[in-house]
């Protein structure tokens, strides 16, 4: 068999892999339990049934990275969770000395890029092997640390990181198709840069990122009391209804009714909670003139929660 035929056959064999690398899709499930944020992936039951994303490809040449990295992604409550395991035969040589908000990508670190559905701006989250954090928006925009968490753990032949990013940072709920990437900077011996969705020039090439596809949640699933707390807080923060010709007494009555109404939130399902948050966060990005529509939608969701009471479906855990 001549070399050209062998090359052609090899190309055919490799083509599907390359195609996969070009169009990486992550199906993101709703987790059945909340991950314990301590950096330990292997013994965390929350990650047990979650299939890892991978393999990672080297920047520029697109070859499979060695050593490899595995990422698990899932939704719990109001946050997106990542569990990243970086295989590392030379754990002792890991470089991680910088502090929060410094240039952590110059050390052994994991980077998460996220472009929510409908957003023009993407977010960058970096965690070094010592658990220090950096965040930014788009290339070059650096911000003080936002309200997100990361914990790392070093084992004999790998280091791992668990990351919790609240959806509030994106003003978007886990629904539909987002784009993003998970990348690794390795600074031991020979420097190497790899990522889940193959990149050619830099990790910031958002057009080359993979698709983060949120699987539908079981809308009728119980919702955590934490998430209900967030929903309450968000509802509280909304501007009040200004109705022409309504007396002060009536407005006070309305507020009292609203307080009573909040008890309905105890009956929210996961679907309700996300629908409410989606409405409120979506509203913040739109015109204030849409307040009335927002109010109607949130009222409807709360109405359904109240109705569910009559079928004895109290969901808050």
Partner 1 sequence: MTHIKKLAYVIAGVFFVFAGPGITEVVRVFPLAHPVTNKRILPDTDLLLFSSSVSEIMVLACPGEYEPASFVLRTEEDMEGVTAEAAELEGKENAMAPGNVDIRVVKCWWQDKGIGYREETPARLYNPTSYSAVKTLIPELLLHDDSLVKVDKENNYLKLVFEKGSPAQREEYVLASREGGIDLPREKLDRYINYIYDSPTLVPFNLKRKENKQLWLTIKIPDNAAPGVYKGEVRIKKGQAVLGAIPMKVRVLPIKLLPPYHVSSIYYYMPSGVTYQERQFRQFRKETENLLAHGVFNPVFPTELVVRDPGLKDMEEALKIREELGIRGQPLFICGNAQNLGFSTSENSAVTPSQLEELKKKTRDILAMAGKFNIPEVYFYGVDEAKGDRLAAQRPLWEAIHQAGGKVFAAGYISEGEQRGNFEFAGDIQNLLNCAGYPSRQEAAKWHSAGHKITCYANPQGGAEVPETYRRNFGVLLWQYDYDGAMTWLYQCGHYHENKGALNTWNDFTPLVCYKAANMVYPAADGVIDTLEWEGYREGVDDARYLAALVAAAKEARESKDPKMKDAAGRANGFLAELKQGDINRDVEDMDLLRLKMIDLILKLKGEDNEQENN
| Chain residues that interact with partner 1, rule: CB under 8 A | 25, 27, 175-177, 213-216, 219-220, 246, 250, 253, 269, 271-272, 274-275, 293, 297, 299-301, 303-304, 306-314
Nearer to partner 1, 76 or 274 (CB): 274
Nearer to partner 1, 147 or 252 (CB): 252
Nearer to partner 1, 29 or 67 (CB): 29
To partner 1, the closest distance from the beta carbon of 272 in angstroms equals 5
To partner 1, the closest distance from the beta carbon of 269 in angstroms equals 7
Torsion of CA 288, 293, 295, 299, to 10 degrees: -170
Torsion of CA 131, 155, 111, 215, to 10 degrees: -110
To partner 1, the closest distance from the beta carbon of 315 in angstroms equals 12
Nearer to partner 1, 171 or 192 (CB): 171
To partner 1, the closest distance from the beta carbon of 197 in angstroms equals 16
To partner 1, the closest distance from the beta carbon of 19 in angstroms equals 13
C-alpha of 261 from chain center: 31
Q: How far apart are CA 239 and CA 283, in angstroms?
A: 11
Nearer to partner 1, 7 or 284 (CB): 284
Nearer to partner 1, 27 or 51 (CB): 27
Maximum C-alpha span of the chain: 92
To partner 1, the closest distance from the beta carbon of 92 in angstroms equals 43
């Amino acid at each position: 068999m001549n070399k050209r035929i062998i090359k052609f056959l090899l190309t055919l064999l490799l083509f599907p892999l390359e195609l996969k690398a070009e169009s990486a899709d992550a199906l993101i499930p709703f987790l059945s339990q909340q991950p314990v944020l301590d950096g330990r992936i292997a013994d965390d039951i929350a990650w047990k049934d979650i299939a890892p994303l991978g393999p990672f490809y080297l920047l520029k040449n697109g070859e499979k990275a060695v050593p490899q990295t595995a990422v698990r992604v899932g939704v719990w409550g109001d946050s997106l969770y990542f569990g990243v395991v970086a295989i590392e035969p030379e754990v002792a040589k890991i470089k991680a000395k910088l502090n929060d908000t410094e240039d952590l990508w110059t050390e052994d670190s994991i980077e998460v890029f996220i472009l929510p559905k409908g957003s023009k701006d993407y977010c960058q989250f970096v965690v070094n092997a010592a658990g220090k954090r950096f965040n930014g928006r788009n290339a070059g925009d650096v911000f003080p640390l936002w309200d997100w968490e990361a914990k790392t753990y070093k084992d004999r032949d790998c280091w791992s990181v668990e990351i919790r990013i609240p959806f509030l940072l994106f003003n978007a709920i886990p629904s539909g198709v987002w784009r993003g990437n998970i990348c690794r900077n390795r600074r031991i011996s020979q420097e190497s840069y790899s990522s889940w969705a193959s990149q050619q020039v830099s990790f910031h090439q958002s057009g080359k990122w993979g698709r983060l596809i949120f699987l539908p949640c079981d809308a009728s699933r119980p919702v955590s009391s934490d998430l209900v707390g967030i929903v309450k807080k968000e509802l509280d923060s909304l501007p009040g209804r200004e109705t022409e010709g309504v007396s002060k007494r009536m407005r006070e009555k309305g507020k009292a009714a609203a307080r009573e109404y909040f008890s309905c939130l105890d009956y929210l399902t996961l679907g309700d909670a996300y629908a409410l948050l989606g409405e409120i966060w979506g509203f913040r990005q739109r015109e204030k003139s849409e307040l009335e529509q927002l109010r109607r939608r949130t009222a409807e969701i709360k109405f359904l929660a109240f109705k569910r009471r009559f079928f004895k479906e109290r969901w808050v855990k």
